Amino acid sequence: MKVLVVAERKDGEVRRVTLEMAARAASFGEVEVVAVKGERYSPLTHGAAVADRAADADLVLVGATLNGRDLAARVAAKLGRAYAADCTDVRVGDGLTVDRPMYAGKVRATARLPLPAVASVRPGAWTLPAGAAAPAIAEIDPAADDGRLRFVRFEPTASGGKRVSLAEARVVVSAGRGLKGPENWKIVEDLADALGAATGASRAVTDAGWRPNEEQVGQTGKTVTPDLYVALGISGAIQHLAGMTSSKVIVAVNKDPDADIFKIADYGVVGDLFEFVPAFTDALKRVRGT
């Protein structure tokens, strides 16, 4: 069984999802980790290069990131292979068995595919074993550029680079309309800083322009799978849950005891977030001595 893991880098660093896939794939069979040379993802030249390299692989694993999802679908199409997108688990034996959320997270499906196949795996779906060695990465050249696609410019977002990337953060602190306005976001940021977390938001918040769109979590926003997801003043609409129910531990703070978010929360605080969160952040800092 030969597994090809496609590595992704951000700002020169190998993304955690690559390490997670490489570590897990070692239990499937022989693993090769490859990265296409160059910092910027290019769908046509990268898709062709990876498909070429993957020709003799039984399984191709790609991180279900923004670029990874695009790449994985291209590689599967080019090779004419079965493709499972956005998996939360992948098992081999009698073909390939995958778990993946469907219908905006309302159901979790288990599907069986014939090998060879391609799968994209959600960041955080597999735990990175402590002390796991970084895999050797083989650099491959992008395919020849036929000029059909031209890079014009890259505009980093205003919030880019300040905190850990939302999609890969191990801890996410998200907030909703319960925050009342953008002027109160310091409460969210203070807690996020104390936890070393990325910040997220509900769509009510991004639609209102309180926070940038790239912070939106949910069906039409980002999907996150952190170890800890903290939801502050978020009601728990199904479209929000679609982006965060695979989080390992969910903590919700809401003043409404009947809020839907409590149905999926592991820990819930029924109370006013303006009282609870600053006090909790202070207590956290005291305990940690920061």
What's the closest the beta carbon of residue 271 comes to ligand FAD, in angstroms? 7
- Residues linked to residue 253 through DSSP beta bridges, in sequence order: 232, 269
Is the CB of 45 or the CB of 246 nearer to ligand FAD?
246
Is the CB of 8 or the CB of 190 nearer to ligand FAD?
190
Do 44 and 143 contact (CB within 8 A), yes or no?
yes
What's the closest the beta carbon of residue 236 comes to ligand FAD, in angstroms? 7
Label residues 226-258 b or e (16+ Cβ within 10 Å = b).
bebbbbbbbbbbeebbbbbbbbeebbbbbeeee
What's the closest the beta carbon of residue 199 comes to ligand FAD, in angstroms? 14
What's the closest the beta carbon of residue 267 comes to ligand FAD, in angstroms? 15
Do 238 and 106 contact (CB within 8 A), yes or no?
yes
Helical (H) or strand (E) element with 170:
none
Is the CB of 235 or the CB of 281 nearer to ligand FAD?
235
Is the CB of 202 or the CB of 225 nearer to ligand FAD?
202
Is the CB of 143 or the CB of 274 nearer to ligand FAD?
274
Q: By the criterion CB under 6 A, which residues form the site for ligand FAD? A: 176-178, 202-205, 216-221, 233-235, 237, 239-240, 243, 253-256, 259, 272-274
What's the closest the beta carbon of residue 103 comes to ligand FAD, in angstroms? 13
Token code pair at residue 135? 């895999």
Measured between alpha carbons, how far is 135 from 84 in angstroms, rounded to an integer?
24
Token code pair at residue 118? 């391609």
